[in-house]
Chain A
Amino acid sequence: MDSRRAPRTVSDPKVRKVGFFTAPPDRSLSSPPDHRVFSFLTSPPPVVDNSSPSAGNSLSPVMIPPPRHSSANLSPLRRDSAEYFPLLLPPPPQPRSPIMWRRRRWGGVLLLLRVACREEKGGGVAVEMQNDQSTRSKSLKEKTTKAERRALQEAQRAAKAAAKAEGGTTPAAASGAAASNDSATVAASEKKGGDRPPEKDRKKEVPQPRMQYDDKSRVEKAKRRAVVKQTEARNRVELFRHLPQYERGTQLPELESKLFELDPMHPAVYKVGLQYLSGDICGGNARCIAMLQAFQEAIKDYSTPPEKTLARDLTAKIGSYVSFLIECRPLSISMGNAIRFLKNRIAKLPLSLSEMEAKTNLHSDIDRFINEKIILADKVIVKHAVTKISDGDVLLTYGSSSAVEMVLLHAHELGKQFRVVVVDSRPKLEGQLLLRRLVGKGINCTYTHINAISYIMHEVTRVFLGASSVLSNGTVYSRVGTACVAMVAHSFHVPVLVCCEAYKFHERVQLDSICSNELGDPDVISKVRGREDINFLDGSSNSAILQLLNLIYDATPSDYVSMIITDYGMVPPTSVPVIVREYRREHLLI
């Protein structure tokens, strides 16, 4: 054991340290296979932690396991870095001390290099690295400085391009070489709040502001590139001038007529866009899966045009598909995260792969994302959540969330005796669909509307809610009305549990529901389905002083939420930024 190495922190598994420990300087440059010091737990040593973070057999559900390091299954990046630094990252069986010593020596250089590898700004750095496989450490040092300079330049160019096009984009998309292509994709609003860490300051990862629709010049630019012609709604609510408000009725027929004319658009993507527009696909997970599967089809049919690299061209194409989907319906946060993952995977494709191999890789990556992040995550969430349901419980849920539905059905299968209160609201009336499915399975249900929650809350023992996303300040961003339910539950001292997959977390922060939201079709407010006697507003819908507001989302403050159930365990809302930060890199590397 190297005497210079800092002593390992407490190894008693019963002692749980919560919070950040700052690493001693030599360990802060840990490369992936080694133990990351930013850990929240001290129990089992991380090399054991090859299993997925969600299979917490040795860990209780509430603890956040340290980020996982799979030295066993090497991802392409790790394979590459092993190639690049044969001396510095020997395979695990070797004793640790040589690594530590070398890492300490190369200090800041290694950090930069690793960051440069990850946030690839074009193929230049990778090529450099490949050529240097066999060099000793000294010459590597020289090369890295050159590479470092090159990487810096790329980053600056990228920063300029992105600043010009003011979109929140991923690093790959903003790469300098593809700037002209990308400005088209960047101009459309991608509400991903993409973080582009500048080279040296990993700390300053402030998400770029999203496209704001009150800036006329930018709206004009976006319109020129739009596939779907949108007419702006006539009675725009002033408070929401920064969000897009379009006339809804005209888009679908027009898009349908254009079906055979759209050369650049892949039919699968077109189909998904139409499904979004008409509201056939609804719900964060469903939309994300549909989009990813459409992208799989598009990638399968893709062929690289001559004189273009696969990575850049494919990224540009994906970007154009995404802007089309945004025109159909603004992206949900889960979709934004998935797109970022995909672009990252494309950017990391080694140049040595043939087109066929690259496409197969991407296909399997997408499959793995869907499987691990959505399907398996849901299974883990269900496993945790059913422990919170006991016999005799009265559970309240709002709207229709896929995760909550799975929890309730599973608990019912396990034989627990409980009944469910389904709260619903206009205009979507999603609760009725959930109600039908629950009653079909034999669960005792009560149905009511959101105004009656004060009446029904006396009987309720727990509230289960779904989320479209959880933001970094603990705010739950979810279907409009969720905040009301959580607030009333809080005032009656009923615990509120939010079920949300971890891929939906986002580093953005939001204080209220006005800053960022989605505006739906205002006409559905004035017409009440099934109640023809309520058509008071028929004649006056075109009046200038009457406005109809149809919000889709709202932001629930974190103090109303007792616990968030994710595939990383059951955590309080304050742990969300921790998960976002610690697992963001891990997410993308899977």
Chain B
Amino acid sequence: MPESATIPHTTSSGGDSEGKSKSADKSSRTRRLKHDIIEAVNELIQDITTCHEQIAEQAIEHIHQNEVILTLGSSKTVLEFLYAAKEKRRSFRVFVAEGAPRYQGHLLAKELVARGLQTTLITDSAVFAIISRVNMVIVGAHAVMANGGVIAPVGLNMVALAAQKHAVPFVVLAGSHKLCPLYPHNPEVLLNELRSPSELLDFGEFSDCLDFGSGTGSPLLHVVNPAFDYVPPKLVSLFITDTGGHNPSYMYRLIADYYSADDLVISFVYYILGSLGVTMEEVVDWQMEILAQCMEECQPLFYAGREAGLLIGKNEKEREAKNGHFCDCDEAVV
């Protein structure tokens, strides 16, 4: 595709009018392509800015009277959601857990109070104590994975477990731009960020412990400060997106709206490979092979999966040719 922009002169060797139309064609195609891409990006920006309203419209369906709602940290979506319910004269009170170490909960509490909502600020450790008196947990998400799992600010897995124990619905608000075609494999480690330990410990006070002083040469003290938590799909009761409310098991269908089938399948392939214990290096090697072949044969990537032995492809001949290689994987079905 990028070649088309640079080709025009070379192909206009035969038939001048033909060549000119061809080049005109190609440049108009380029222009149209650019136009399409810019439009798509604008749409995406539009989506991101308006998702709050669309999600908030659904608030009155879920919040009734005399409800008690729990949330952790701060999320603009949650804020708008609660405002919308307040506007429709629903009475409820909110427990906000402060969300160490960023303490965004303080911010959220301040904004809720400014809008006249009855708020109580609690520490994260008190979540289990309080949750027996809570009707609903409403939280935002950082990302929603293809299996319905959620990458959320740290501490939300604990809240989700407590909610499950007390049969409290755990509702995740997520705009559709947060959907991700990846299936999570070992998400606590691979899809996480570790932040600075200074948020937890004051370096000045503990500098003597952070010495590389012990016999093995490693410090006695490690500080762990992850930024995100993974909440598995079985703990989530409902996703509220701008397209409506959905079950976690439905989220993979929504992804098809926003991602092309190729990306979707490849990510699923990665998921299967990951669960089979294949390392990333092997996948990359295969990818290189496949890519080289694709460039030659101009085959879509869909069949590249077959080359990796996982998908059953149309071309029997090629499969036989590769018979000795990955035959035992033929049974795996998409």
Query: Min CB distance, B266 to chain A, in Å?
Result: 28
B327 CB contacts on chain A under 8 angstroms: none
Q: Is the interface of A mostly helix, strand, loop or mixed?
A: mixed
How many chain A residues touch B (Cβ–Cβ < 8 Å)? 56
B109 CB contacts on chain A under 8 angstroms: 536-537, 546
Query: Min CB distance, B55 to chain A, in Å?
Result: 25
Q: Are B122 and A536 closer than 8 Å at their CB atoms?
A: no
Q: Are A534 and B106 closer than 8 Å at their CB atoms?
A: yes
A488 CB contacts on chain B under 8 angstroms: 157-158, 161
> Is A166 among interface residues, defined by CB-CB distance under 8 A?
no
> Is B155 among interface residues, defined by CB-CB distance under 8 A?
yes
**Most chain B Cβ neighbours within 10 Å, of A425, A455, A545:** A455
How many chain B residues touch A (Cβ–Cβ < 8 Å)? 55
Residues facing B in A430-444 (CB within 8 A) are: 432, 435-436, 439, 442-444
A447 CB contacts on chain B under 8 angstroms: 200-201, 221-224
Q: Which residue of A lies closest to B231 (CB)?
A: A454
Known: A450-B158, A491-B161, A530-B202. A427 touches B123 (CB 8 A): yes
Chosen A-B contacts, 13 in total, with CB atoms closer than 8 Å, are A425-B123, A447-B224, A450-B125, A451-B154, A455-B192, A458-B188, A481-B125, A483-B128, A487-B162, A513-B130, A545-B113, A545-B118, A546-B119
> Is B20 among interface residues, defined by CB-CB distance under 8 A?
no
Docked Cα-Cα span, A435 to B206, in Å, equals 10
Q: Are B201 and A432 closer than 8 Å at their CB atoms?
A: yes
Interface string of A516-556 (1 = CB under 8 A from B): 01000000011010110010110010010111111100110
Interface string of B252-266 (1 = CB under 8 A from A): 000000000000000
Q: Are A237 and B120 closer than 8 Å at their CB atoms?
A: yes
Query: Min CB distance, A437 to chain B, in Å?
Result: 11
B100 CB contacts on chain A under 8 angstroms: 425-426, 449-451
> Is B334 among interface residues, defined by CB-CB distance under 8 A?
no
Q: A424-B200, A528-B103 are in contact. List 4 more A-B contacts (CB 8 A).
A: A444-B214, A446-B222, A483-B128, A545-B113
Query: Min CB distance, B312 to chain A, in Å?
Result: 36
Query: Min CB distance, B170 to chain A, in Å?
Result: 14
Query: Min CB distance, B280 to chain A, in Å?
Result: 20
Known: A426-B100, A488-B158, A540-B110. A455 touches B226 (CB 8 A): yes
Q: Are A543 and B129 closer than 8 Å at their CB atoms?
A: no
Q: Is the interface of B mostly helix, strand, loop or mixed?
A: mixed
B126 is contacted by which of A444, A453, A480 (Cβ under 8 Å)?
A480
Q: Are B124 and A448 closer than 8 Å at their CB atoms?
A: no
Known: A446-B224, A530-B202, A540-B113. A451 touches B126 (CB 8 A): no
Q: Are A548 and B125 closer than 8 Å at their CB atoms?
A: no
B224 is contacted by which of A452, A487, A526, A551 (Cβ under 8 Å)?
A452
B222 CB contacts on chain A under 8 angstroms: 445-447
Query: Min CB distance, B158 to chain A, in Å?
Result: 5
Q: Are A543 and B103 closer than 8 Å at their CB atoms?
A: no
Q: Are A452 and B226 closer than 8 Å at their CB atoms?
A: yes
Known: A512-B132, A536-B106. A526 touches B161 (CB 8 A): no
Q: Are A449 and B121 closer than 8 Å at their CB atoms?
A: no
A425 is contacted by which of B124, B132, B214 (Cβ under 8 Å)?
B124
Docked Cα-Cα span, A239 to B158, in Å, equals 23
> Is B244 among interface residues, defined by CB-CB distance under 8 A?
no
Q: Are B121 and A453 closer than 8 Å at their CB atoms?
A: no
Q: Which residue of A lies closest to B73 (CB)?
A: A451
Q: Are B220 and A442 closer than 8 Å at their CB atoms?
A: yes
> Is B101 among interface residues, defined by CB-CB distance under 8 A?
yes
